[in-house]
Structure 1
Amino acid sequence: FYKLVDSGDYQKFENYSLSYVCKTSSKQNGVIGHKFELSSPDGVKLCSAIFKNPEQQKHIHNVYIQLYGEAIYSYGIKSTIGKILDILKSAFGLTANFMTMYPSRVDINCFIGGYDFSKCKPECFSGRFYVSEECCKGHEIFEINSRLGLETLYLGSRSSVLYFKIYNKKLEIEKSLDTLSSQVKKEYLLQNGFDFEKPIWNAEFTLKRDYLMQCGVRTLTSLFSFYKGLFGNTFSNLSFYGDDVAKIRRYKESRNLSRLKEHPLWLNILNYCDFERISIMSGCLEYDAPLPHRMTVKRSKVGCEKWHKRQMIKYLQKAKENGWDLKYLGDFLA
């Protein structure tokens, strides 16, 4: 199939709800191959599917699939994957199931209604998986603000195995209500008891393959078997202390942040167990060892070196401001 697509003769597959998008490169998303979009018969976009180039990807013959939000909100994750597998099987004879599909990235989220995070600052959160002193885009902390306050907050590096973001979901939907995707998301939230007259935020962790492997999640079967444990595992890596920024800064400056109690909202999220709407798959295999209650993400050696370098530069700058003569710095190191 890949040779056929590479030659440009792919039009005959478009009767199967496939549409060709482009040829991808490693610089764009780490995957080399040809990208398609798959849609359901009723017009909902299901996913993008990249058929990898086996010659440039270690002779691996597989397909990289990224689910679209409008499909997840319309059908649910498992039903969406089922529709994708039906298309791939009818078009190419490609057979797969949840035991032969491997997650490379998983987003675990929690919608929060009725609480406004717009007054929050990065200090309102505390976690071991990011460096709290680093505040710039592409690094550990990045926030997007408007005249109404906080809109989006990122914690952690996108290159790490785990990072977090929280954003104004209601605002995101209302900005693009003319699209099918936003209409589907709004209808989903309304049907699940959310009030659009009040704030609605989305707290979301992104888990990379290495983190999933550490948790024993290797296939989609194990992912759906342990989603509850994975939910608690990720959210326990972060603390939220409310939006009283002045109080939090006082505790932090006196190095007593551990004495500050977490906000009841966050404790409710950690204790959340109303998962009736997501049914456990029948026939899921159970692993021998349960998920750990808390898994702290270890910083890489490179990350530690960067942190120490930043600390040294900061102390040297302070020393220079205080009138130190740094010409003999080598003598101190000796």
Structure 2
Amino acid sequence: MTDTKILSGIDSLYYFCESNQNYDDLYLEVLDQLENQRGKFLKKDIAFENKDLIITINDTPLIFLGVAEGFHWFKDMNDNFKIGFKDKFKNRSLNDIRVQLLAFSIYTIGIKSIIEFINNILLKDYITSYFPITRADLNVFIQSDLSFITKEMFVTRKRKYATISEIGSANTTETIYIGKEPFKLRIYNKTLELKKSSKKDLMNEYFLNNDFDITKPIFNIEFELHRTHLKQFNISTIEDLFLNAENLFKQSMEDIRLVDISNITEKDIQNNTKNRAETLPIWNYIKENYKIDSFLQNQLPLERVKRNILVYSEQKFEIEYIGIIRKAYINNLPLTDDYLKDLYYKAKDTLTKKTTITQLKKDYILVDFIDENKNEKEEFRLLNNGDLIKPIRPNKIVSNLNDYELLVYLDKTETRKNLSKIDESIHYVAHKEALKRGLIKNYKGEELI
């Protein structure tokens, strides 16, 4: 058993941040940003979801999740944490800021590093140094098949923790729940869970980095400890938890024991008088080898954490891309598939050659086209894709323009319509054609020339 691999850690952490005198400014700013975001959609009568509303606090973008338990909840772009803000004048028995750390940050950035980022960068101007803990999940991953365990094999010291349920097939156990809030134990087959989890790649990388064999069974033993239970051990803050996590985990394994029922009678099992049974060696092994030091030492420098929080990912790209397209529609910018495709290739070109802003604006070269028969010279534009086109002129026949060209032309005539009567007439013709095609709205009270 001495070669059985285990990984000790803290699988989840929830805590409060005590707000300072500046917090009211932050909360009002959060509400203002949300209202501004909503207003952009409502003004144009465009449907939107919570995730479309993105605010920024100290240069960190946060996606709106909704309102629950009086808190406005957000998460960062890369699912490192969730954070909630409430009105300081409501439910004064609770702190104003609530934080939940998520698996991605815990197993990549490190639990101490992500806490330092939230407290010292994201919220630095709005909180004190007091961080009361509300829930912690202490856990051990073990490279061992624990599917032989049944609910009858557990002994609990306290009657109120005796709620036990079991999930699995007739031959193997997949999950066991023991106890209820504020003190619960979960044991489950992590390998099976990851098969249907979005965290599969993340956790497999974590296991491989710690010499686990992901082709063999991995189980998770996890104690869910809430604030009222933690207070019994004088654990009130994050720092208290880190200092006492090992003793707390070991005490939890004493409060709920996995015992050998082979040497006790069926009557003992039925009457729940199994205390005389000996603890199974695997349980004692896990208890004695729970060490939190290496887990807490998994830290990144704060500046690197900040870069990681803002790191670009496929998910972040999708969110931003959809947001940009929606913003374009809200502001009546003309979009076509060809136009977006053209922008895509422009962006790719910038990866292989140095392109200035001026070059991006002028994606053509001027060429002179000479008609020898008429002895005339006309100026054309040679596009990057090889197309040769005539520039749009003020006397352009607007009915021959496609929708995108018409809207671009209309925008240009808009800026010139007050320069002269001719420019005013040119704009009128373009505006009338755009109305005819339904490309723009004729707002009530607006009259054409």
Structure 1-normalised TM-score? 0.67
| CA distance in 1 between partners of 2:72 and 2:279 (Å) | 47
Partner of residue 230 from structure 2, selected from 212, 216, 220: 212
- Looking at structure 2, the residues matched to 107 and 2 of structure 1 have their Cα atoms a distance apart, in angstroms, of 29
Change (3 A) 1:119 1:279: closer
Residue aligning to 1:263: 280
Q: Superposed, which structure 2 residues align to 1:51-200 within 5 Å?
A: 51-58=85-92, 62-89=96-123, 93-97=125-129, 100-114=130-144, 116-130=145-159, 140-146=163-169, 149-157=172-180, 160-176=181-197, 179=198, 181-200=199-218
Distance apart, 1:75 and its partner CA: 1.6
In structure 2, the CA distance between the partners of 1:197 and 1:250, relative to structure 1 (3 Å rule), is farther
Q: CA deviation at 1:223?
A: 1.2
Q: Is the Cα contact below 8 Å between 1:130 and 1:156 reproduced in 2?
A: no
Give the aligned partner of residue 296 of structure 1.
Answer: none
State whether residues 80 and 102 of structure 2, in contact with CA within 8 Å, keep that contact through their aligned partners in structure 1: yes
Q: CA deviation at 1:71?
A: 1.3
Change (3 A) 1:220 1:59: closer
Relative to structure 1, the CA distance from residue 245 to residue 95 in structure 2 (aligned partners, 3 Å threshold; closer, same or farther) is same
Aligned residue number for residue 17 of structure 1: 61
Could you report, residue by residue, the CA deviation over 1:84-106 in whole angstroms, capped at 9, with x for unpaired residues? 2345237xx33454xx1111011
Compute the displacement of 1:68 (Å). Answer: 0.6
What's the offset of the Cα at 1:233?
1.7
- Unpaired stretches in structure 2, ≥5 consecutive residues: 1-25, 38-53, 299-449
Secondary structure of residue in 2 paired with 1:189:
helix
1-structure distance, mates of 2:249, 2:60: 35
Secondary structure at the residue paired with 2:28?
A: helix
Question: Residues 57 and 166 of structure 1: is their aligned pair in 2 closer, same or farther, counting only changes over 3 Å?
Answer: same
Q: CA deviation at 1:197?
A: 2.5
Partner of 1:325: none
1:5 matches 2:30: yes
1:80-134: CA deviation from partner (whole Å, max 9, x where unpaired): 21222345237xx33454xx111101111111212x22232210111124568x7
Once the two structures are superposed, residues 172-229 of structure 1 have per-residue CA deviations (whole angstroms, 9 ceiling, x without a partner) of 11223xx3x2211111122222222321111111111111111111111111111111
1:2 offset after TM fit, Å?
A: 2.1
| Amino acid corresponding to residue 259 of structure 1 in structure 2 | R
The Cα of 1:254 is off from its aligned counterpart by 7.9
Aligned counterparts of 2:128 and 2:200: Cα–Cα separation in 1: 31
CA distance 1:248–1:257, shift in 2 (3 Å): same
Structure 2: which amino acid aligns with 1:167? Answer: Y
Whole-angstrom distance in 1 between the partners of 2:164 and 2:196: 25
2: distance between equivalents of 1:77 and 1:4?
Answer: 28
Q: 2:437 is matched with which residue?
A: none
Indicate if the aligned counterparts of 1:46 and 1:84 stay in contact, CA closer than 8 A.
no
Length-normalised TM-score, structure 2: 0.51
Find the aligned partners of 1:113 and 1:156 in 2 and give their Cα distance.
24
CA RMSD of aligned residues (A): 2.9
Following TM superposition, by how much is the alpha carbon of 1:274 offset from its aligned partner in structure 2, in angstroms? 4.1
Indicate the percent of aligned positions where both proteins have the same amino acid: 28
Residues in 1 aligned to 2:203 and 2:297: alpha-carbon distance in whole angstroms = 23
Distance 1:245 1:166, change over 3 A: farther
Query: In structure 2, do the counterparts of structure 1 residues 266 and 56 end up closer, same or farther at CA, with 3 Å as the change threshold?
Result: same
Deviations 1:39-93 (A, max 9, x none): 4xxxx32111010222321175521111111211112211121222345237xx3
Cα distance change, pair 60–152 in 1 and its aligned pair in 2 (3 A)? closer
Larger Rg: 2
Instruction: Tell me: CA distance 1:255–1:233, structure 2 relative to 1, closer, same or farther (3 Å).
Output: closer
Tell me the amino acid that sits aligned with residue 161 of structure 1: P
CA distance in 2 between partners of 1:258 and 1:59 (Å): 41
Candidates 277, 280, 294, aligned match of 2:294? 277
Taking the aligned partners of 1:256 and 1:20, their CA distance within structure 2 comes to: 51
Query: Aligned equivalents of 2:75 and 2:273: distance in 1?
Result: 52
Shifted more, 253-262 versus 167-176: the winner is 253-262
8 Å CA contact 2:110, 2:296 repeated in 1: no
Q: SS where residue 140 of structure 2 aligns?
A: strand
| Equivalent pair of 1:107/1:204 in contact (CA under 8 Å) | yes
**2:72 aligned partner:** 34
Distance (Å, rounded) in 1 between the aligned partners of 2:92 and 2:193? 39
Q: Does the 8 Å contact 1:224/1:280 carry over to 2?
A: no
Distance, in Å, in 2 between the alignment partners of 1:229 and 1:182 is 30
